[in-house]
Amino acid sequence: MAVPRQLALALAHAESFAREDFLSSPCNAAALALIDVWPAWPDRAVVLVGPEGAGKSHLAAAWADMAGARLVSARALEQAAVPAALATGALVVEDIAAGGFDERALFHLLNLVREEHAFVLLTARTAPVTWPFAIRDLGSRLKALPVVALAPPDDALLRAVLVKLFADRQLMVDESIINYVALRIERSFAAARAVVAQLDTEAMRAKRPLTRALAAEILRASQP
């Protein structure tokens, strides 16, 4: 007879976006330095680029706390709302992607940033230099902005991220699990986040402590 499996609830897990909780590494050193040297930025507007889960939102939140900035999604940015969004003199516009924002609104924002000597931090997965633009002047403006990139994690950072993700779920796991998982997933923050969620869920369903043996069993079962 099959062993009953516990229903695992999809509960939210608190994740700290404080500056002191950001895991530093050579692959993100330039981006972290950008946040720390503010307001001595090379331009009033800067683009922070990196793959999904690389830490862009964490750094943006840390800078927003430091600069008193508001945060808005690129898709939600509207031309009429730009002055109010920039009311504190600093703004984060997150997840800018080609074709995924109102060009007039962003052009208005960049002009207002210069006029009011404000600051804006733009986050994106790819650099604007590769995007097509309907408003040519906006394209020129964005492509001229300083771009600071977050690279994929090195081995040490990937292990540190796994430890933090498990800790965020209040799971204190053995180092052998960290090493085992790190060697068997894609070297990306998104993959680390996904595998930690999977291991947590499956361990709860099986009503078993998360050991290296269970991690190996779960990962083997999930392979095609």
Last residue of a domain, one of 149, 167, 186: 149
Q: Quick one: 166 and 134 in the same domain?
A: no
Q: Say how far apart CA 69 and CA 110 lie, in whole Å.
A: 15
Q: Say how far apart CA 148 and CA 63 lie, in whole Å.
A: 14
Q: Say how far apart CA 24 and CA 103 lie, in whole Å.
A: 34
Both structure tokens of 17: 């976006």
pLDDT of 154 reads: 85
pLDDT of 189 reads: 82
Domain CATH number, residue 197 = 1.10.8.60
| Averages of pLDDT over each 10 residues, the chain, 224 residues | 38 59 82 94 96 86 96 96 97 94 97 97 94 95 95 87 90 91 88 93 92 91 76
Q: Say how far apart CA 15 and CA 192 lie, in whole Å.
A: 14
Domain CATH number, residue 131 = 3.40.50.300
pLDDT of 7 reads: 35
Instruction: Give a yes or no: residue 188 inside a domain.
Output: yes
Tell me which residue range forms the domain holding 133. Answer: 25-149
